[in-house]
Structures are given as C-alpha cells and as structure tokens.
Amino acid sequence: MRRERLEIGWYAVRPFFVYIVLFITVRSILLRLLESVLIAMSADMTVYYSFWHDAADLLILGIASAGAVIPLLKDGQREIMITRARSVGAWIRHRKDRRLLMGLLPAGTISLSAFFNLLLAGQGAAGTVSPDPYILPFAAAVYGFLTPFVEELVYRGIVWHRLRRGFSPLEAAFWSSLVFGAAHANLRQGLYAFVMGMVFAMSFELTRRFEVPYLLHCSCNLAVLAASAAGWGEVLAHPMWILFFGVLAAAVFGYWGKRLQETNYRL
C-alpha cells in the first residue's frame, strides 16, 4: 500500500517538475535575450529600470508560464474532464443551501487572501505587484487571468486530481498545496500559497468544477492588484482591517466546516 501511494505521488508530481524545469529554462533564455538586446542597443539602464523593467518582467513571466504549460495542456484537460464528469456526485450538489455556500465562498476566500497579504505586508507578501498605471491592464491579464489558469491547471487540475487516486481529500489537498507553496521558493510566499492552495483544492473537491478554484484564484489576485494600484496598502494595513478580514474569513469557512460536519465529512 505504501509503495502504491509513493507511485501515485510520483505520478502526480512528475508534471510539476516538467513545468518548473520548462518555466525556469524559458525564463532564463528570455532574460538572456533581453540582456543581449539592451547591451547591443547600449541602452540607458536607468531608463530601463525606471520605465520598462516591470513591463519586461510581466512579459517574460507571461511567456514563460504559457510556454511551460503547453506540454501539460492535454493531460490537464483530460484530468479536469474526468473530475467534471463526476460533478453530479459532488458534495455541494446535494446541499439545499448550496447557493448560500457558493455565494459566501468568494467573500471568504478573498478575505483570507487579504488577511494573509496584510499580515505579511513588508515581509515579502505573496501578492505584491507594481501599481504603475501604464502596465495595469497587462498586469491584470497576467496576474489576474493567465497565471491563475496555469497554476490551477498544474497544481489542482493535474497534481491534486492524480493524488486523489490514492489519497484522501484532505491528504491530496495538503500535498498538492505543499508542492504549490514550495514552488514559490520563499518561506512567506510559500506559506501564503500553501494556505490558499488548500482552499482552492478543497473547493475543487467539493464542487468538482475547475472553474470554481480558477475564478477564486483570479479574484484573489485581482483584488490584491486593485488594492495595490489604488494605494490602499497603508489604510488596509491598520490592525482593525486585518482583524476584520480574519474574522470574516473565519466566519465563512467556519460555516462551511459546520455544514461539512453535518454530513460526517462524506465528500
């Protein structure tokens, strides 16, 4: 049994390693090309870092993420469609209060994201982005829609789903979230990613619809971007706001937990 679980675990995380290697490779190549172009143009590096650095980073991130996930698209689509085919038996489908539960879920998830971002503010918070107005639409496209799709496809669509073949729902959520956090290669960002990964994974488990964790992920990233662009960082960093978001998140997920407890956690 232990050997079987190890084999399932390796089968699940293997695509993650493919994605990471490709991402690092593509990103490194693009950075070298950019460096070569700047040197060839004898570019003023002060001007580059003042006006183009953030835009170049976003472009490279977007291209590297999209390029690295291409070999995994077919596997991801297959795994997602398998889960979707079983959505009739999803836990949420049998709840009379499913509309209330689904209505509360975005509020709780965004609040949890805000709580952790504010708690870690100034210490390498996970959602820190440039508020420069000239790249806001591009940042929204990359951070708000592209990277959430890529990450949900890899970490929930493939890794989580494959882990479910040999692990319980909570175990699969834990290990896939641990991989998600480790991919950020930073303790504080990794902690944030792990917590949010648990929410995304369990939302996929309970609904069996890929669009649910994807849209939750998009909403969190866009909310952080909007708050950063609007300059609300100092206002929201007040302890009362941190407490507010923490209490709201606890209330929402406490309600979800209570409803789950009523069914003895039969997922």
Average pLDDT, the chain: 88
Backbone angles phi, psi at 86, to 5 degrees: -100, 10
- How far apart are the C-alpha atoms of 204 and 173, rounded to whole Å? 10
C-alpha separations of 236 from 50, 77, 117, 122, 125 in Å? 27, 39, 10, 13, 14
Mean pLDDT lowest for which of 19-28, 122-131, 252-261?
122-131
Amino acid present at 174: F
Asked whether 249 and 115 are in contact (CB, 8 A), the reply is yes
Q: Residue 147 has what pLDDT?
A: 96
- How far apart are the C-alpha atoms of 218 and 229, rounded to whole Å? 16
Asked whether the whole model's pTM tops 0.85, one would answer: yes
Residue of higher predicted confidence among 159 and 259: 159
Q: Residue 129 has what pLDDT?
A: 56
Mean pLDDT lowest for which of 48-57, 137-146, 198-207?
48-57
pLDDT band at residue 125 using 50, 70 and 90 as cut-offs? very low
- Give the up-direction half-sphere exposure of residue 76: CA atoms within 13 A in the CB hemisphere: 19
